Amino acid sequence: MFWNRSIPTLLLVFLLAGNPGSPIFASADVCSYSWTPGHVGERGQPALAECGTSSTTYLQCTQCGRSDGKPPAAQDCTDESGKPFGGSGDLTCDVAYSISTAGVGGRKVLCTHTHPGGTSDQVYCLRLVRPQQCSGCNA
């Protein structure tokens, strides 16, 4: 009779977990200092992204992507001359970003953004509002 009571509980656990073969809890490092996407290594090695969790800790990661599906982004950005860039909303840092010691007007987030035409710009932003998240990381 024990099985009759435990079956609904087990069913609920499987429904909450989604795929029974996947882990329920995933560990992700937040790249709050810097992030660059991976490039294919020598001899076909897998691409590893670099995730800076602090000014002294850089991790090599096999997979990056935010759980909400949005790209990393910054706000209140200007170009090198101090001219506002990207409007008042979030600017995607889809190529890379890092915290710089030098900045423009107190803006220390160096964000590389790609335009729809394929060109990219490096701009200085006041705040990193959506840092990248990576998993499968090693120091």
Residues of the chain with pLDDT under 50: 1-3, 10-26
pLDDT the model gives residue 45: 72
pLDDT the model gives residue 34: 97
Sheet strands (E) in the chain: 29-31, 34-39, 48-52, 58-64, 73-78, 84-85, 91-92, 96-104, 107-114, 120-130, 132-138
pLDDT the model gives residue 9: 56
pLDDT the model gives residue 47: 80
What's the CA gap between 15 and 28, in Å, rounded? 22
Q: Domain extents for the chain?
A: 29-138
